[in-house]
Amino acid sequence: MRSLTITALAVALLSASGSALAQGVADGPTATASQGLSAMKARLAAFEGYAGVFGVSRDGQAEVASIARPDGAYPVDPSTPVRWASVSKMITAILVFQQIDAGTMALDATVATYWPGTTVANADRITIRQLLGHRSGLAEESETPDGPAGDALQYCGTAKAEPGSVFFYNNCDTIVVGKVLEAVTGRTYLDLVNSRIGAPLGLTLTLPETPRVEATMADGSAEARVWLSGFGPAGGLYGTIGDMLKIDRALMEGRLISAASLATMLTGDPASGYAALSVWSYAPDLGACIGQTRLVERYGEIGGVQVRNFLLPDLDLALAVYSNDHRTDFGEVWRGEGLSLDLIRAAACGGPPAA
């Protein structure tokens, strides 16, 4: 789960905005995908506590590489399907906007409109927009539901706040959205993912075949047992990092949803720490060759696995990083420092991270 200090983020972005306007516009990205990948690899190789897969997409070209432990244990490579964790939420939102574009769903319609008879709290008042923006008021009893696959909805049946009254990041919102999609289309969530997104892009995503997932982390420690299949639309998808970048590019190029839907999906709300609909979207000053530009973030963390997915739509740039080492400290871009910011600069500018 991602946590943000909303006031601190808003203040930081206001300061960054003023600074960027005073300094003028930077030259823009200068690195090719290959150069950006090399710079990312150099930065990650120098970072203690990283093992995983990473990639960059620029000007229609995508490059992916991996770094293993020094002893070669527990390797992953660009062909390895990895856990996408909460990046799954972004995929679910794309499916919703496809239905909106088709006229079969509306953002401000309620859950009960599409899923009559559901026992989800306040279903007759919670809207699809509130679910995607984490303002439904639904409770989150546990981030790792301790029960068999399909039982996750038992954690979403009660409310902790009035619909629309407060921002509260949770998995239940997107789990409910997935059920609404199934009710509207008559198809399973995974079938929707692969028929509406996977097939057009030539990729296949999966969900866990067994309810309980266990893994060994890059440091050799055992990951806590996770009922990953219970997360489903909120965090259960598996795919390669290359697949993630394909989706990023198709999204930015308008091949998955309409321009109007994309604009709505990527509009961040300052009152919610710039949370948009399934992602975070704001315009920080990224320094280096980039300057101030729109940045879309989608983080994922389950167990010891971490994922970072960054889209810079106005610069035709996307990058994704997967770590199966819980020690990897990515930092927060909005703070103006840390590994994530270094990687964005590396992908865009090439060479060593610049201030």
Q: In the predicted model, is pLDDT for residue 210 greater than 90?
A: no
8 Å CB contact between 10 and 270: yes
pLDDT of residue 152: 65
Query: pLDDT, tens digit, for every residue of 143-159?
Result: 445 554 456 677 677 89
Q: In the predicted model, is pLDDT for residue 5 greater than 60?
A: no
Q: In the predicted model, is pLDDT for residue 19 greater than 80?
A: no
- Rounded-to-integer distance, Cα 194 and Cα 95, Å: 10
Closest CA to 315 of 61, 19, 58, 60: 58
CATH of domain 6-349: 3.40.710.10
DSSP, res 79: T
Summary mean pLDDT of the chain:
86
Which residue spans within the chain are E strands per DSSP? 52-58, 61-67, 82-83, 238-239, 280-282, 295-302, 305-312, 317-323
SS3 label, residue 164 = coil
Question: Where does the pLDDT of residue 327 fall: very low under 50, low under 70, confident under 90, or very high at 90 and above?
Answer: confident
Q: In the predicted model, is pLDDT for residue 123 greater than 80?
A: yes
CA atoms within 13 A on the CB side of 15: 9
- Rounded-to-integer distance, Cα 45 and Cα 47, Å: 5
Lowest mean pLDDT among 20-24, 80-84, 96-100, 190-194: 20-24
- Please give the angle made by the CA atoms of 154, 157 and 160, to the nearest 5 degrees: 125
- Rounded-to-integer distance, Cα 215 and Cα 205, Å: 19
pLDDT of residue 303: 78
Report CA-CA distances (Å) from 86 to 174, 260, 303, 306, 318.
Answer: 10, 24, 12, 9, 17
Q: Which amino acid is at 93?
A: A
Closest CA to 237 of 98, 132, 85: 85
Q: In the predicted model, is pLDDT for residue 308 greater than 60?
A: yes
Q: Domain locations in the chain?
A: 6-349
SS3 label, residue 12 = helix
Which residues, in sequence order, are bridge partners of residue 297? 280, 310
| H/E stretch holding 237 | none
Tokens of 251: 């999204």
Q: In the predicted model, is pLDDT for residue 217 greater than 70?
A: no
- Rounded-to-integer distance, Cα 175 and Cα 121, Å: 14
Q: Which amino acid is at 7?
A: T
Block residue for tokens 């490059």: 63
Question: Where does the pLDDT of residue 166 fall: very low under 50, low under 70, confident under 90, or very high at 90 and above?
Answer: very high
Average pLDDT of the segment spanning 47-73: 89
Question: Where does the pLDDT of residue 219 fall: very low under 50, low under 70, confident under 90, or very high at 90 and above?
Answer: low
User: Long-range contacts: 186-195, Cβ < 8 Å, 24+?
Assistant: 189/92, 189/232, 189/233, 192/95, 193/91, 193/95, 193/237
- Please give the angle made by the CA atoms of 125, 126 and 130, to the nearest 5 degrees: 145
